[in-house]
Structure 1
Amino acid sequence: MLPYKSLIVIDRHSAIPVFVQVSEQLNQLIRNGTLAAGQRLPGTRQLAQLLDLNRQTVVAAYDEGLAQGWLESRAGSGTYVAAHVPEVRPQPVAVELPTSKANEQPGYYVQSLPFLKRPVLTNQAGLRLDDGFPDIRLAPMNELSRAYRSYFRWGNPQQHFGYGDTKGHPLLREQLSTHLNETRGLQTTLDNILITRGSIMGIHLSSQALLQPGDVVVTGETTWAGATMNFLKAGATVQTVPVDQHGIDVEALAALCERQPIRLVFVTPHHHYPTTVMLRMDRRVRLLQLANTFGFAILEDDYDYDFHYLSRPILPLASADRRGMVIYIGSLTKSVAPAFRIGYVVAPTAVIDELARLRRIIDRQGDPMLEFAVGQLFKSGELKRHFRKALRTYYARLDRFCDLLTSELTDRVQFGRPDGGLAIWTRFDRAIDMEAVAQRASRSGLFLSSGLAHNPPGQRLNGTRLGFASSTEAELEQSVMILKKVIW
């Protein structure tokens, strides 16, 4: 007989019931080959005596093993290890991993792609000069809560608590269509809109639909890494063109088009990421002409269009597109709050239909309740009121922040005052070590990015985005004082 008393150890202080402990340890003895297929187990009375347990505890343990299929009962004979359990041959100790390692590393190959290794930005507690996040404290939470509750009183429960349209809630798509047509000069219906969980999903779906391995995608030499990651994951080759104070160099793009086929051009024309410069009007016209001539698609990410401070902003490329060459992407993440995981893709209906089919295999649908609630906020005018209020607040914070940078960090930083958006692209003196500055600022209670992720290969911009919108004017003053201390 096996030494069951030493093989099965009972922890009477554990929250796990004793019969479960016995059952799991018996299963483990079977898995590692100590108990072989068809081997007879001790009777319940005998094992209870060996382990100093109540017989009913052992009966319950055996019943658990029978239910899970590790054991089988033979009438008039007793309990046995199930005959179907495969034979286990002991492996050399050298190839076995400790249990803790098995929780960390799989026993099979998983490709780790270097370009996917990118820090995840979160809203930091305390003072921050972030990437350009909105102030969550301004979000219309009470209005959203009321609209959310109204979902439970609306319509047919079978309909609105079941599966919905993969393209998104019709109310939100309809309201978004109206909003985009009024504010951005688009000409859409709800059939031109797909609701996504943020703009990144829209970029991912577009990449999967448009790109094949080997296709060429063109971006600015400074650009958003989140988009580039998706292009590379789709198997595309990413090439870049220069970016100056007027946006991407479209003549450099034209030269590329003459040399090779281009499948997709990714742009953030309203406020180029990360430098916030606006794509000049003549370059916008030229970019659309190139798309029509060479047949590439334009993926336009308009991540913060709602906040423009001087006058009516220049309309998106999509508003002047008459050939269906532009896929327009936006979200409410920067307009309201990052927790509002609502983005949208605007494109010809054939493209929207294909993106919706792709969306089904990764995410059957979005959040109908949230989408309904946000649609109600558009319909009631609450979101428009929020945009106006936030715009006034952010404009005042931009003024104050620019004054602080000018008065407190003279000769140490250079920046251009943006016409809109939620961050200022700031270049630091070349003698300043940005990584060290970010670390010292963090120890002093201020979060800011080192900006290293914005450097094109082989270049050192020594700049970063300093987000001002998520901080009050008093918080901005404290932040600049800390920044002044750590760079001097």
Structure 2
Amino acid sequence: MSSPVQLPYKTILPIDRQSATAVYLQIVHHVINAIQRGFLSGGQQLPGTRAMSLLLEVHRKTVVAAYEELDAQGWITSRPNKGSFIKPVAHNRRTKKLDMQQLTEYPATTGFHFKRSNILDVPEELPGLPLRVTDGQPDYRLSPTDQLARYYTAALRRKVNRKHLGYNTLPGNVFFKTQLSNFLNSTRGLHITPRNILVTRGVEMGMYVSARTLINPGDTILVGNPGYYTANMTFQQSGARLKTIPVDQDGISVEAVERICKKQAVRMLYLTPHHHYPTTATLSAQRRVALLKLSATYGFIILEDDYEYDFHYQSSPILPLASADTEGMVVYLGSFGKTLAPGFRAGFLVAPASLIDEMEKVQAIIDRQGDTIMEQVLGELIAEGEIHRHLKKVQKIYHERRNHFCKMLSTELGDSVSFTTPPGGLAVWTQWKQGMNLLRMSKACAAQGLQLPRFLLYQTRELSAMRLGFGNFTLAEASNVLMQLKTAAASEIAL
């Protein structure tokens, strides 16, 4: 048995004087860590409190407190006139060779096998670059933080709202669902009650719950081409087989949908009809009517993702398919993430009450409690008209940013790129000269401090395109971004 003072205890039990954790607790945690990882074995004697205090350069009372805590937790036993000893641990029969890297770092890999999935892989982003192009995210700097802070403070101070801090017997905040149903009825032409709403943490959760509830392995799901990678990954993870449908300037092809339905059973059609992702095309009125008829005829679900309903610049927003659904075939997704800020995780799913009941069971597994205080605040923002005032304000800002972004695209990159000014939303679909290597352009942008993520790039033999978000840039930032893109495009053309 090693002498209690032969081990490098100062190395095994490092003390961080700047840490907020008390020194005696640091000693306790390090000793437990060393026992669990096999560096201190059962029966091994620890140095006496005086000797350990000298080794660690701490007060003896600190070591006494640490030993008492270790004894109380059952890691060591103190014997009068003999010392303190490590209690035997079942898996730790012999002392391991001291490896400080193992002692101070969390394991890099598991000691067991687990199922891996490349379906959910997303290209890594480059950290630390000052500017980043998004796929159409809003500018969180425009978020009404003062109003939110005021409403949060008021909501937390009201005694009647303290019930929301406990577990809820009902799914979601009833007040919020009531206000939300009124809001959706007045802005989207729906005819719903709170019974038709599932409150989610954003569109992605609604998508996931829909997939878990509605899709079985082997089901055929129709999606646009090009389409939304997150939705495609979610459906594939549920075991669905995807079939892609062409998209043009009027949205998804109804004829292609009907051809597939005549040949095989289709479980679901996923749509972003207001502004198709990624091309921003708006589904025409004629195609909306035709798709609803096809859905009723062939029995497939329409999962309508209306992620950008609140931003339309050239006319009033187009009412969703859900507003004209009389057969109960449409499941409608939306969120306040773009309205307020991406970090404000409040979304919703609208469907017939019978389906909502089943979806609530699935959601309860991953989000039993939700965020009822946030829902209370959002309900009050709707009731007081703050949401409408905020939307009116940012609508003007984003409209100006779209016009500036498209004007600069035309004047500075007109020889390299073609595009149609989007009627709404926070992004522009740009098509580049065939043969241009978009990945190489992305790397050239990174060298200038501009991140152009890979998931924005759509490059095949027939297509060279990017979805470029403008909403999160001021006019000056947008000018900077586009000039860097111009430089990258010029270097690519020169090759």
Tell me what 1:138 maps to: 142
Query: Judging changes above 3 Å, is the alpha-carbon distance between structure 1 residues 454 and 44 closer, same or farther for their aligned structure 2 residues?
Result: same
Pick the aligned partner of 1:424 from 425, 428, 432.
Answer: 428
Pick the aligned partner of 1:71 from 56, 76, 91.
Answer: 76
1:166–1:360 Cα contact (<8 Å) kept = no
Report matched runs for 1:66-465 at 5 Å.
66-72=71-77, 81-82=86-87, 85-86=89-90, 88=92, 98=102, 103-119=107-123, 126-164=130-168, 167-450=171-454, 454-455=458-459, 459=461, 461-465=463-467
Q: Distance in 1 between matches of 2:95 and 2:8?
A: 22
Query: Judging changes above 3 Å, is the alpha-carbon distance between structure 1 residues 78 and 400 closer, same or farther for their aligned structure 2 residues?
Result: closer
Q: Distance in 1 between matches of 2:126 and 2:352?
A: 34
State the 1:325 CA deviation: 0.8
Q: Distance in 2 between matches of 1:281 and 1:357?
A: 35
State the 1:208 CA deviation: 0.8
Query: Judging changes above 3 Å, is the alpha-carbon distance between structure 1 residues 8 and 178 closer, same or farther for their aligned structure 2 residues?
Result: same
5+ residue gaps, structure 2: 491-495
State the 1:454 CA deviation: 3.9
Tell me what 1:485 maps to: 487
Query: Judging changes above 3 Å, is the alpha-carbon distance between structure 1 residues 283 and 66 closer, same or farther for their aligned structure 2 residues?
Result: same
One-letter code aligned to 1:475: E
Of 394-403 and 198-207, deviating more is 394-403
Of 167-176 and 155-164, deviating more is 155-164
1:452–1:462 Cα contact (<8 Å) kept = no
State the 1:415 CA deviation: 0.4
1:121-147 Cα offsets, whole Å, 9 max, x none, are 799975554211222233222222211
1:246–1:279 Cα contact (<8 Å) kept = yes
Of 476-485 and 310-319, deviating more is 476-485
Query: Judging changes above 3 Å, is the alpha-carbon distance between structure 1 residues 376 and 13 closer, same or farther for their aligned structure 2 residues?
Result: closer
Q: Distance in 2 between matches of 1:30 and 1:66?
A: 15
TM-score calculated relative to the size of structure 1: 0.87
2:224–2:244 Cα contact (<8 Å) kept = yes
Alignment RMSD: 3.4
Query: Judging changes above 3 Å, is the alpha-carbon distance between structure 1 residues 449 and 61 closer, same or farther for their aligned structure 2 residues?
Result: closer
Tell me what 1:28 maps to: 34
Query: Judging changes above 3 Å, is the alpha-carbon distance between structure 1 residues 375 and 359 closer, same or farther for their aligned structure 2 residues?
Result: same
Query: Judging changes above 3 Å, is the alpha-carbon distance between structure 1 residues 81 and 13 closer, same or farther for their aligned structure 2 residues?
Result: closer
One-letter code aligned to 1:309: Y
Query: Judging changes above 3 Å, is the alpha-carbon distance between structure 1 residues 129 and 166 closer, same or farther for their aligned structure 2 residues?
Result: farther
2:409 is paired with a residue whose SS is helix
Counting aligned pairs with the same residue, the percent is: 40
Tell me what 1:3 maps to: 3
Tell me what 2:493 maps to: none
One-letter code aligned to 2:360: A
Of 474-483 and 27-36, deviating more is 27-36
1:417 is paired with a residue whose SS is coil
2:126–2:451 Cα contact (<8 Å) kept = no
Q: Distance in 2 between matches of 1:103 and 1:370?
A: 37
Q: Distance in 2 between matches of 1:170 and 1:238?
A: 37
Q: May I ask how many residue pairs the two structures share in their alignment?
A: 481
State the 1:191 CA deviation: 1.4
